[in-house]
Structure 1
Amino acid sequence: MAGVISFGSVNIGSSHIPFLTGDNYSDWKEKILLTLGCMDINLALRVDEPPIPTESSTPSERASYKRWERSNRLSICLIKSHIGKNIRSSIPECTKEKEYMIAIEQQFVSSDKALASTLITKLSSMKHMGDKGVREHFIKIRDIAA
């Protein structure tokens, strides 16, 4: 099965990650982080980039950089593959996973505040007009609050 890694009896795949849209950032981020952790490719998110190996670098330093670089590259590929093209174009290009996640978060923090402001205004200005029942009015209020 493509995109699936098996750990004993547990299959971890990227198919359960939703595409990032304007209203599901929190759920998307939670599932991306879980998947990166389970696939063990979240090293670039947890650890700062080690120095680029030179001629005098030890084999351990070279291996450390190689693991970090692989984690960074695969993580960015997975993240980008679960963002719609229309949203991806509004996020600045980054070469590091940690920077890319911060750029995505900054994109959605402002939109979350705008959405919250719109919903609060809508809730505070709602009035029961009597054309429909009170039950329907409460259902509208509940839906906006959700």
Structure 2
Amino acid sequence: MAFISHVPPLEGGNYRVWREKYELVLALSENDLALTFPCPTEPVDPVREENESDADFTARQRDHAEVRMKYDLERKKWDISNRKCLMVARSTISDAIRGSIPDCDTATEYLKKVESQFTGSSKAYANTLIKKLFNEKYTGGGIREHILKMSNTASKLKPMNLGLKDEFLIHLVFASLPKEYETFVVNYNMQPDKWDIEKLISMCVQEEKRLKSLQGDSANLMKAQGKAPQTEHHPKNNNTQVEKHKCKWCKKHGHYQRDCLDFLKNLLKRGIPYEEDPTKRRKKN
């Protein structure tokens, strides 16, 4: 009962989810024998042939007894499984839907009747999955998870007889990769070997690591080189440069205070001798 409680009631738009949970519950409880194997075939009792001796016929009957015993055991197990599968299926279907499904002797026949009620929704669901596969794009977050996600989507098409071959799925994965993987895809197309999904995941993970290492090296190179100095072009730096050639005495640009004529005249008025040699004047002032 704990397993059955995990099966959502079949109401209308959740057939795929219901079917997956239904089969999972029966498998975990080891009651899916009737779903995975056909009903055992009853052996035909031996009939005495013309001119057959009593000893030979007795020997055939003895051999047939073992076959019959094996069949009886297998048929009993299968009947128990079939009854449980039918009970779980009927108990997890809403009353409105269950009333429109005819009774069947086997669980597999009953499930086919249920599936026929949702043929339209199955086609729409398949169409949605196919569009999702073709429009899927890798935007980061781990390429392994991206491939597994696409593989899981493709696996949902198998119950509808629309399963994709690994080779086709691999090309869909390549089509979903960004431009950084173009060289990687070209190399695959040029080699004669074909990959399976496990090989694809392994190689794509290696390529992802290689691309990340290259991006890291490029960033470190740019950091080491640094940015070009912009002091000569930045307006603020130009103002600072001008301030260095501004006289603190007359507030004019183009010379320093020690070279200012007004400043030198002021020195003469104060009795400070004027040095004609500019070199000595700069040192002194």
Equivalent residues of 1:41, 1:75 under 8 A apart: yes
> Is residue 34 from structure 1 mapped to residue 24 from structure 2 by the alignment?
yes
Q: Residue 69 of structure 2 aligns with which residue?
A: 59
Supply the AA of the counterpart residue of 1:76: L
* 1:73 positional shift: 0.4
CA deviation map 1:106-143 (0-9, x unaligned) = 11112455799xxxxxxxxxxxxxxxxxxxxxxxxxxx
Give deviations 1:41-73, integer Å, cap 9, x for gaps. 111111111134787552211000001110000
- Structure 2 gap ranges (5+): 46-64, 127-285
- Structure 1's 38 and 115: CA in aligned 2 closer, same or farther, altered over 3 A? closer
- TM-score w.r.t. length of structure 2: 0.35
Please point out which of 4, 14, 17 is paired with 2:4.
14
Query: CA separation of 1:54/1:70 partners in 2, compared to 1, >3 Å: closer, same or farther?
Result: farther
State the match for 1:108 in structure 2: 118
- Work out whether residues 53 and 62 of structure 1, in 8 Å CA contact, stay in contact via their aligned partners in 2: no
Instruction: Work out whether 1:93 is the aligned partner of 2:103.
Output: yes
The share of aligned pairs that are identical, in percent, is 37
**How many residues matched?**
107
Change (3 A) 1:53 1:40: farther
Structure 2 distance, partners of 1:54, 1:75, is 28
Cα drift, residue 90 of structure 1: 1.1
Give the secondary structure class of the aligned counterpart of 2:115.
helix
- 49-58 vs 73-82, greater mean Cα deviation: 49-58
SS in 1 for 2:120: helix
Match of 1:71 among 50, 74, 81: 81
Which is bigger in relative contact order (C-alpha 8 A, separation at least 6)?
Answer: 1
Q: Hey, which of these two has a bigger chunk of strand by percent?
A: 1
Q: TM-score, normalised by structure 1?
A: 0.65
Greater gyration radius = 2
Structure with more helix by fraction:
2
Closer, same or farther in 2 for the Cα pair 1:115/1:43, shift >3 Å? closer
1-structure distance, mates of 2:69, 2:125: 51
Counterpart of 2:34 in structure 1 is: 44
Q: What is the aligned partner in structure 1 of residue 183 from structure 2?
A: none
| 2:13 alignment partner in structure 1 | 23
